[in-house]
Structure 1
Amino acid sequence: MCHWRRVRNYYKRCRHYLDLPDEMIQCDDRHCKFSDRHPPDCRGPRCIQTCWQYRQFPQQYEPVIDGYCSTCIIMGHVN
């Protein structure tokens, strides 16, 4: 099933978080109504009975980056 990917970077040196824009991950399953491979003519009761109608829960990642966030670098707060 299609799902959203949420990434929140944590920068160790300045202790700031930066949320990246959510990204839609396509599943390429023709039975998922959100997939690009879902047939355009699959609609109504037939689609409801045969295809996924919901996305999975979003994947959530929180990478820890040993550095400074872009705002701190621009503002010159880098030690």
Structure 2
Amino acid sequence: MCKYRRVRNVYTQCGHGVNLPEVEINCELDNCVFSARHPEDCQGEACRNRCWQYHQYPEQYSPNINTLCPACQAAGGAQ
């Protein structure tokens, strides 16, 4: 089933966090209404009974990056 990926980079040298744009991960299954492979003619009650009608829980990542955040790097040091 299709889901979203949420990433928040945490920069350890300044302690700031930066959210990246949310990305939809396509499952490529024909029984998911959000998939690129979902048939166009699958609609109505049959579709509601057969196909996933909602996204799965989002993948969430929060990597620690051992540098300054982009704003602090642009300012020339930790803020």
Q: Would the TM-score normalized by the shorter structure come out above 0.5?
A: yes
Which whole-Å deviations, capped at 9, do the CAs of 1:9-55 have from their partners, x for residues lacking one? 00000000000000000000000000000001111101001100111
Q: Does the residue aligned with 1:54 lie in a helix, a strand or coil?
A: coil
Could you tell me which runs of 5 or more consecutive residues in structure 1 were left unpaired when the two chains were aligned: none
1:26 is matched with which residue? 26
Runs of 4+ in structure 1 deviating by more than 6 angstroms, as ranges, are none
1:1-79 equivalences in 2 (<5 Å): 1-77=1-77
Number of residue pairs the alignment of both structures matches: 78
SS in 1 for 2:13: coil
TM-score normalised by structure 1 residue count: 0.96
Quote how far apart the aligned CAs of 1:77 are. Answer: 1.4
Report the TM-score when normalising by structure 2: 0.96
Unaligned runs of 5+ in 2: none
- Percent identity (aligned): 47
**Secondary structure in 2 aligned to 1:72?**
helix
Q: Which amino acid aligns with 2:61?
A: Y
Alpha-carbon distance between aligned partners in 1 of 2:74 and 2:7, rounded to the nearest angstrom: 22
Cα deviation code 1:54-73 (max 9, x no counterpart): 11000000000000111001
